[in-house]
Structure 1
């Protein structure tokens, strides 16, 4: 917007003229994020001031939505926003969004609810999202208002708002921004049981999604393939934003932090509804993945103690596809499918840690729940049959995970190793059986288990073997985890003198590497950890003594 247009906007008293100027600005700048031309002659301040003056003028109410659209576009630009904004303007936006209206009475009598103009309220919420994200001043103003109370109250009564889905998208986004950036706002939400109300709203969204996804699905509603629950794009956005906000509110400083009975019930309810939401279909595969990403991220912040709620007991009339020990394992199947997707997706924009860390963290927690561990073990580490290939070769989950045991991304490697180790009930021999000693050595060394044994104690059970495995067990090479053809004899055709010569060459090469510090001799100590030795002859000290003939 040039200086002449700004002057016309400032001086005009005509709603029609103001509307025309603003429509042109909005149309021309819908995808603009920077306005360097406004730095000249205080044009930025003049434009913002003019827009807020019109916004506060009841005689120009027909232009308010366009004023807010223009402000929403301008608020994308962080440049000089702290010097432009003032407290009064932020409060004006909160007021236009309807968050300053007293809504408590509407909880008992919906007819008392004052519903703001849809377009004005939504545009005001968009502006608030932008300025609270970009401006510290705006965030400080929010701390000193009752915006947290307004957001919680509106969430509780939103079913009485005709355009609740459009509005709730931005309410949840604003809650996420405020709780992510302002500690005091987080405390206010916790004080007013914000997490509990958000979990209740999540349950409400899930309950309302009980419908076929299309006309075609409704025709085949009796078929097993027809979806029972379906999220519209608006529902999905609300759930995703709500999940992000809940993450900010429920994350605890550490996993040992004690929780009250009330909090325990909240976590139990949350995990239960998240397990159900995993099964809900959306309009596309990418939307399904977006939803799963947010659910998994939220689950990472929840203590293992509450994970049993992911796999609820089967009711008398329920017949889910995946049942194990009387529990519905559908959510675990979906988590494993999501893991498989993350392992195979070729998204170069996302590094390995970002892709795999959340889902591996969640599965590690699931594996700490006995019944879930047993189900996951059968799915990830089924009984071995074909042992002719190394564990890292193939397209099964076990193969993908074994490949990651040697990845240079140590955080991912450790998560994978811990997951597999727990599935093996922290038993070294079982871990080696399914992954090969070479792949597992790093994790076993870090746990002090190179000499064998096991970590934590689990209930005893036998690791039953298939006939195919037993048939080839004698030929298995435990280092690589598969059978290998008999190696050719390297000494074949050599005289004793040649053999001795080659052996001494090898000794000399090792001696050079040790002297140069390339390698350092070590042995497994009594604690299972590697211990350096001063001389290679020390390696012979613990060798079993041979009986002399």
Structure 2
């Protein structure tokens, strides 16, 4: 937002000076709220904001927000709320404030105020708490250095987890929709602040590991929340991407430890409802082709981490995303499947490499990093890019850490069509007559030479670069197209490796 009319002469500076003079005069206390409201609106314009927010003025705003040492015990009121809103605007738009605010005691005092709220016997909604936490989020987003200080000196993460724990229970109680949405709004701010605090976290200490595990318990409850939850689930997913893998086991609690298993998504006596909600969230995001990196990357990253960390999550997720193929499933290309498998396969050839590689990694993990199985469910054409990146084009199955226990085998319907499934496209094709049938050897040789000459022309013109598979399993440019025939035996072996045991 810009207030161009303030660009004339020294008007902008004069307006700020006048408002701050009134704000600093206690005899004018009756208009202090209006002063803060005016400054909040003025602070939306970044013009000269770095110069207008002096240390003295920043100190005054902090005082009005009740976040200075002398005012910490003040009860929330409309002036405090308005000052907090102003601080949020200032730190959002001013690089100077982003540096200077964390140098004050403001953020530490906000954490202490949150601690006071946590110590109360009964939680009551207060909009000021929302802006306390939002200010912590903005400060830790724009100033990385203050994250560790807040964790070490005032245990900001512990207090935010306590608040989130309380909110998770309040959200799921039978309250009116407006109040639930208010709680969800605060919970989203807590999740965003915790993401900043934990983005480079380490679970090397037992205390921190226990803290992360408690947090995952809370995230489980939030994922089971009904109501309007898109933002809530989105920020929950973001936080899951930075939780250490060793701490996520409680996202799938044993069914005997919970009163309700959510929606009946039980697998091997384990509640998979939270994972089910994550897959529903992924499915919904896949239907939105805009902002793929922002919309798809966090949820796929979370599912990759969860599948890597817990065998049961991987096995159950595989059944949902890559169920056993039946006859109708192989009549069309994998990317034409209207379910999750097809939506993900479409992204395997996306020009957005970050999304493409992440989705490929997810599907490959569900396939237990088995090359043949990946080809079976996605088609070689869709997965070739990932195989090339990983050096798996040679068809040699590398050792993995996955168990080798047997599981489902091919369905009878799939076996019926298996011999006529084109591994490149991943779908059934009617048997075709050999175009070379009826030709003499001379005619066949003539057609081969025509093909070789055509490929040579395309190569010489720089339109294509023929490759064979090198010893490292990656594409290796050839000097002459006749070298391509050397890789044929490997290719045949490559496509035949489609064992589907779990």
Which sections of structure 1, spanning at least 5 residues, go unmatched? 1-32, 105-112, 216-229, 545-549
Query: What is residue 148 of structure 1 aligned with on the other side?
Result: 107
For residues 257-296 of structure 1, give each alpha carbon's deviation from its aligned partner in whole angstroms, at most 9, with x where no partner exists.
56322221222122221121111133x4xxx212222111
- Cα distance, 1:56–1:514 mapped onto 2, change above 3 Å: closer
CA–CA separation in structure 2 for the residues paired with 1:57 and 1:162: 35
- Cα distance, 1:441–1:140 mapped onto 2, change above 3 Å: closer
The question of 1:355 aligning with 2:299 is answered no
Higher RCO structure, 1 or 2 (CA under 8 Å, sep 6+): 2
Query: What is residue 168 of structure 2 aligned with on the other side?
Result: 206
- 1:432 to partner: Cα distance: 1.2
The question of 1:366 aligning with 2:306 is answered yes
DSSP 3-state at the match of 2:126: helix
Query: What is residue 128 of structure 1 aligned with on the other side?
Result: 87
- 1:98 to partner: Cα distance: 1.1
For residues 454-491 of structure 1, give each alpha carbon's deviation from its aligned partner in whole angstroms, at most 9, with x where no partner exists.
45231113342212112222222222212101224434
The question of 1:534 aligning with 2:479 is answered yes
Q: 1:382-531 to 2 correspondence within 5 Å? A: 382-385=323-326, 386=328, 387-452=330-395, 453-462=397-406, 463-491=408-436, 498-531=443-476
For residues 391-417 of structure 1, give each alpha carbon's deviation from its aligned partner in whole angstroms, at most 9, with x where no partner exists.
111211001111111111111111111
CA–CA separation in structure 2 for the residues paired with 1:114 and 1:129: 20
CA–CA separation in structure 2 for the residues paired with 1:421 and 1:248: 30
The question of 1:329 aligning with 2:272 is answered yes
The question of 1:306 aligning with 2:256 is answered no
Q: Normalised by the size of structure 2, how large is the TM-score?
A: 0.88
CA–CA separation in structure 2 for the residues paired with 1:543 and 1:280: 54
CA–CA separation in structure 2 for the residues paired with 1:290 and 1:274: 13
Query: What is residue 196 of structure 2 aligned with on the other side?
Result: 248
* Kept in 1: contact 2:123–2:166 (CA 8 A): no
Query: What is residue 166 of structure 1 aligned with on the other side?
Result: 127
* Kept in 1: contact 2:278–2:299 (CA 8 A): yes
CA–CA separation in structure 1 for the residues paired with 2:479 and 2:182: 67
- 1:249 to partner: Cα distance: 0.9
CA–CA separation in structure 2 for the residues paired with 1:236 and 1:317: 23
DSSP 3-state at the match of 1:508: helix
DSSP 3-state at the match of 2:471: coil
* Kept in 1: contact 2:468–2:487 (CA 8 A): no
For residues 179-198 of structure 1, give each alpha carbon's deviation from its aligned partner in whole angstroms, at most 9, with x where no partner exists.
11223422321222111111
The question of 1:57 aligning with 2:25 is answered yes
Structure with bigger helix share is 2
- 1:543 to partner: Cα distance: 6.5
* Kept in 1: contact 2:421–2:428 (CA 8 A): yes
DSSP 3-state at the match of 1:534: coil
The count of residues paired between Structure 1 and Structure 2 equals 479
- Cα distance, 1:135–1:533 mapped onto 2, change above 3 Å: closer
DSSP 3-state at the match of 1:405: helix
DSSP 3-state at the match of 1:480: coil
Q: Which one has the largest radius of gyration? A: 1
Q: 1:157-236 to 2 correspondence within 5 Å? A: 157-158=116-117, 164-191=125-152, 192-214=154-176, 232-236=180-184
Q: CA RMSD in A?
A: 2.5
For residues 29-86 of structure 1, give each alpha carbon's deviation from its aligned partner in whole angstroms, at most 9, with x where no partner exists.
xxxx322222334222222222222222223222111111111111111111222232
